[in-house]
Structure 1
Amino acid sequence: MIAVFDVAAPHVLRNPYAVFSEMRRASAVCKLMPTGFLSVGRYQDVLSLLQNSKHFSNTGYTASIPPELRSPGSASASIVQMDPPRHGKLRGLVTKAFTPRTIAQLEPRIRQISHELVEAVAGQRECELVQDITVPLPMIVIAELLGVGPERRRDFKRWSDDSVSSLSLIKAGNVAQVKKSAQEFAHYFSGEIELRRREPKEDLISLLMQAEVEGAQLTSEEVLRFINTLLIAGNETTTSLIGNTLVTLTNHPEVFEEVRANPSLIPQLVEEVLRYESPAQCIFRQTTTDLEVGGEHLPQGSIVLPLLASANRDESRFPDPDRFDIHRDTQGHLAFGKDIHFCLGAPLARLEAKVMLEVMLSRWKGLQRVEPEVAWTSSFFIRSPERLRLLARA
Structure 2
Amino acid sequence: MKNHSLLHTIREGLAGLFHICREELKNTIKDQGVLIFFILVPIAYPLVYAFIYTNEVVREVPAAVVDTDRSAQSREFLRKVDATADVHIVSYCADMEEAKQLLKNGKVYGVIYIPESFSHDLAKGIQTHVSLYCDMSGMLYYKALLVASTDVSLHMGKEIQIQRLGNTTDRQDEISTTPIAYQEVSLFNTQNGFASFLIPAVLILIIQQTLLLGVGLSAGTAREKNSFRHLVPFNREYRGTLRIVLGKSIAYLLVYAVVSAYILCAVPYMFSLIQLAEPATLLAFTVPYVLACIFFAMTCSVFIHHRESCMMIYVFTSVPLLFISGISWPGAAIPKFWEIISWIFPSTFGIRGFVGINSMGATLQEIQSDYFALWIQTGVYFITACIVYRRQILLSRHKALARLQQYRKRKK
TM-score (norm 2): 0.25
- Pick the structure with more strand per residue: 1
- Pick the structure with more helix per residue: 2
- The structure whose Rg is larger is 2
TM-score (norm 1): 0.26
